[in-house]
Amino acid sequence: MNRTIGRRSVAAGLTAALAAGTGLRDADFTLTATLWWGVPGDFLRICEGDEVVFTQALTSQAMPQRASLLVTGKPNGTYAYRAELVNRRGATSSGVHTVTVNDASPGRPALSSDNWDGDGAYTVTANLWWGTNATSWELTEDGVTVASGSLTAATPRAQRVDIPLTARPLGTHVYVITFANAQGETTSQPLEVPVRR
């Protein structure tokens, strides 16, 4: 924390908290800048990298001074933020606070099938047991899309898709499902389903 230089504000501390309370480092989080002591600021800026993404006037001069920003829709990645407190004498910047987002894309779905008898009619099931939810899905068979649809997101609850398939030709078919949302997509491990009759 920087000490007062002339009559500039002391640097505010910058913290980040998960917005949804799920324990996931997902696309949404809250940044909070707090000045606990020192010369107060007139307004606060929050920068992502070198770009100002938030400005708020600080109407109260009482300590602590605090302002928060809800950040939403960030894809997976690492983001650098800093706070600047500004008064008539100038600006004082906090240190850089990094936020890592690694759960913005959907969790990884797992595939299974019920083709116990080896015929050409069976159901392929995709389960996402826990994690960031998807809003859409797409199933491929041997690299070709055979089904797709939408999902209702309720992170971090489980999601399930049952895809009935009929008249599949003889041979071993490889299925892959992709779960997607606005921040990205996640693909399952391949599932091989043999059709013997």
pLDDT of residue 61: 83
Q: What are phi and psi of 27, to 5 degrees?
A: -75, -15
Please tell me whether residues 93 and 116 are part of one structural domain: no
pLDDT of residue 83: 92
pLDDT of residue 163: 98
Query: How far is residue 40's CA from residue 24's CA, in Å, rounded to a whole number?
Result: 35
Q: 27-43 burial by CB neighbour count: b if 16+ within 10 A, else e?
A: bbbebbbbbeebbbbee
Number of domains the chain is built from: 2
Please tell me whether residues 97 and 114 are part of one structural domain: no
Mapped to the 3 state alphabet, what secondary structure does 31-96 carry? Answer: EEEEECCCCCCCEEEEEECCEEEEEEECCCCCCCEEEEEEECCCCCEEEEEEEEEEECCEEEECCC
pLDDT of residue 22: 76
pLDDT of residue 173: 98
Please tell me whether residues 58 and 95 are part of one structural domain: yes
Please tell me whether residues 56 and 128 are part of one structural domain: no
- For 70, the domain range is 13-101
Pick from 173, 130, 127: nearest CA to 154: 130
Please tell me whether residues 22 and 92 are part of one structural domain: yes
Digitized pLDDT (tens) for each residue of the chain, 197 residues in all: 333 333 455 566 778 776 666 789 999 999 999 988 888 889 999 999 999 999 999 988 888 988 999 999 999 999 999 999 998 888 888 889 999 999 999 999 999 999 999 999 999 999 999 999 999 999 999 999 999 999 999 999 999 999 999 999 999 999 999 999 999 999 999 999 999 99
> pTM here?
0.83
The CATH number linked to 141 is 2.60.40.10
pLDDT of residue 20: 61
- Domain-embedded: residue 97: yes
Domain stops at, among 38, 66, 101? 101
- Domain-embedded: residue 6: no
Residues 6+ positions from 21 with CB-CB distance below 8 Å: none
Token digits of residue 192: 């091989």
Enter the DSSP assignment of 23: S
Please tell me whether residues 36 and 56 are part of one structural domain: yes
pLDDT of residue 40: 86
Please tell me whether residues 117 and 170 are part of one structural domain: yes
pLDDT of residue 175: 98
pLDDT of residue 39: 84
pLDDT of residue 75: 96
Query: How far is residue 68's CA from residue 16's CA, in Å, rounded to a whole number?
Result: 9
